[in-house]
Amino acid sequence: MASHDERAPEIGFDDFLKVDIRVGTIVEAAPFPEARKPAIRLVIDFGEEIGRKKSSAQITVHYEPEDLVGRQVIAVVNFPPRQIGPMRSEVLTLGVPDEAGEVVLLGPGHTVPNGGRMF
């Protein structure tokens, strides 16, 4: 597996299609002190088909929970859940590192319907 800084191995388009990446709107955000690393507990609404899912995100450097509600984000919705402290994280919220390596969330440039699949 490639580190965050090195390029991942080439894959086929069919492999890419196996990853279900969707847009959702954060409807709840709260500090998550039980996590090993500083994190925020998110509840993200992915629309009628997928519903609301929980996610733990290590985004405390750039974001406060109260500023996240209503923000649209991009997440992988078909990975198996992961136990993070007392919570099962159901989706992987996506971000990219800033110059210091801290997470900046990915999201659409315009408001779009929840549940839209990335292509």
In a domain, 7, yes or no: no
In a domain, 111, yes or no: no
**pLDDT tens per residue, range 5-54:** 789 999 999 999 999 999 999 999 999 999 999 999 999 999 999 999 99
| β-bridge partners, 106 | none
Number of domains in the chain: 1
Residues of the domain holding 85: 20-105
Between the CA of residue 69 and those of 7, 40, 82, 100, what are the distances in Å?
33, 12, 23, 25
In a domain, 35, yes or no: yes
In a domain, 119, yes or no: no
Residue 26's nearest CA partner among 81, 91, 79, 109 is 91
Q: pTM surpassing 0.85?
A: yes
In a domain, 26, yes or no: yes
Residue 4 has pLDDT above 60, yes or no: yes
In a domain, 85, yes or no: yes
pLDDT band, very low/low/confident/very high, at 87 (cuts 50, 70, 90): very high
In a domain, 116, yes or no: no
